[in-house]
Structure formats: structure tokens, C-alpha cells
Structure 1
Amino acid sequence: MAACHRACRMISYAACLEGADVVRLFDRRISARREPGYVFDKACVLNYNHMSFGGGPLEVGTEEEAEKLMSQNEKDSANAPPKLVYNNFVLRLAREILVAVASGWDKHVDIINKITPQNWKDEPVARILELCILHIAMAEMKSKGTPHKIVINEAVDLAKRFCDGGAPRVINGCLRTFVKDHMNIDTSQPAPAESKA
């Protein structure tokens, strides 16, 4: 499960940076071909505009302009990190979660806006990774029905590995609030003990 969450985190983060759809980006990364002897071009990545996700959606007047923008997006994505390499089960599960992330994005943005601390709202660009972790966790609980304790633990573990010192505690609190207020599950009660027959 941890590998699946890492793949989802990586793709969600990259999609936010690129302003791309998470599922299309995932599919593109999975099918990316690397030739033998491939060398990652660091200079090319440094020229990539990592802030291209800023602002509202782009509007174009013609199909030609839209194609030009899509073509540029494809070129920029070629400079992104290398192909995902995971087993088929992990890839299938990650794609299912990313589909849920994409379909629940707008609703989860509203919820996240209500449950995150003000300082995260004041600096959303600095909190992209943390917000991606929240989106992934919420989507997994809602769509896959994964027990909330497992999802919260995975989210907190991701935050411990990839975010600053206070993020794990905030993510834990936000997800517990989400479970209590939006999934009608009481998180204060201990899990019932399993009977041993």
C-alpha cells in the first residue's frame, strides 16, 4: 500500500506543478519509454517552469491555440521525472485512487479549505505536497472504502517522510475531522476488539 501512496503522491504533486490532469499524467508516465543508456537531463529540468500551475484555467480562442498549448505541455512534461516503475497491482490501485482524486477534487477542495489551518490557506503554493496527501487520503477513503485508520496512518507516514515537522500532526487532525464530519465515523472510540473463537 505504501508504494501505491508514494506513486499517487508523486503524480498528484507533478500534476499540480504542471497544471495537468492527474489521470492523464499518470497514463503518460506509465507508457513513457526510456531508451537504454537514458541520462536524465538536469539542465533541461532547471529550465522547466514549475510555477505553470498558477492562476485560473487558460482560455483559448481557437483549436489551433489549444493544440499549441497542449503540445507545449507535452514538451514540458518530457522534462519531468522518469517513468514510474511499480508492479501491475500497485499501478492499477494507484490509477483507481487517482481517478477518485480527479473526480472528487472540487468537493475535497471545499472540505480542505474548511479543515486546514489558516497559515496553510495563506501559503497554498508552499503546501502543495501536504494538500496532495489530503486529497489522496480523502479520495481513497471515499472511493475505495479503505479503513480510515489505515489511510490516516499512511498519510501521516508520507508527511513525516516528505513534509516539514508540523505537517504530520496537521494532516492527522485534518483527516480525523474529515472522517468525523464527512464520513459519519466516530474517531474517538477505540476499534471494537475482535473475538477469538
Structure 2
Amino acid sequence: MTETPNPYIIDADTLTGEMHPIRRAVIALGSNLGDRLAALQGAVATLADTPDVWVTAVSPVYETEPVDAPEGSEAFLNAIVLADTTLPAHTLLDRALAIEDAYDRQRPATHNAPRTLDVDLIVLGDRLSHEDRLRLPHPRAAERAFVLQPWFDIEADAQIPGVGTVKELLEATDRSGIALREDLVLEVE
């Protein structure tokens, strides 16, 4: 059973010692350069190998049209990973960035440029953060079908804290640019 800390009592990331609550992490994966499926599978495997992270579900894979990307950008493969973790939010974010780096993610000045791998922390329990480096929940997740649809597929009753249910948010988004790829499957090893 996953326990979510009461945010009104203590900020769980400030706990000291060995005590860390277990929280549900929702992590979005995307790739539109190189061997897209291999990059997503590698990210799933690396997350599953991360100490104090227990992958509990991986969504179906969707092929999606690029959103707010430079002209000529290729289609993305996208998926969602659900995990239980005791890692603090900043540590999990650092792990996500390290996974991107392992797959040669380049960070050009162009906003939403093509990438070999994108690993975004969408939600971490009830944790809220408005820091420049860490925004929780992810500020654009509620508007993006490529996040909401695969998440809904594996957790139909999910909510984005302070925003709404994934089901209601998905119903309000344009889903025309996403297609389920039943021929592509991500495995938890």
C-alpha cells in the first residue's frame, strides 16, 4: 500500500535520517530521435534498477505528433511509468536528468527541440513545488494528451494534485495527434 504524507503536517523532503515516506511517482517518457523504443525501454529499466524506486506499472506506448516543437520535428513515442519511491523529489529529478544524459540528451536553446530521451517528473505524491528547477505537479501535464492518455490507461482514477482528475482533464484535451502503438511494448525487467 502506498502512503502519501499529509502536506499540512510536514514537508516530507525535509525529514532527516532514514525515514522517508513512500510516495507515488508519475514519470513521463518521450523520444523522437534515434532508436525511440530502445531509449524508452532503457529508461524503464534504469528506473527499475534505481535504489528506493519500485516500478509498479508501465503504460502502453503512444506515437504522438510533436507539440510546440520546431518545424520538421519527427513524431514522438511516449509512455508513462508509475513507481513507488522513498526518494526526495530533487533526488528523483536528478536521477531523471542522469537517465536523459545517459541517452545523449542534448539541451539546445531551441524550446522543445527534438530529443533522444525526455524523462519528466509529473507528480510525486501530494508534493507541490514552485521552484524554477522543480515544478510539481508538472505545469503542462494537465494540457497534454500524450501524458494524460497513457496515464489514464494504467490508473483511471488518477488525479493531478490541485488540478483535477486525469479522466476529466483528458476529456478536455485534443487527442487527435496521438495513436496507440499496440505493436510496441515496454517491459519491466
Pairwise same-fold verdict (TM > 0.5): no
Structure showing greater radius of gyration is 1
> Larger % of helix: which?
1
Greater RCO (CA < 8 Å, at least 6 residues apart): 2
Normalised by the length of structure 2, the TM-score is 0.29
| TM-score, normalisation: structure 1 | 0.28
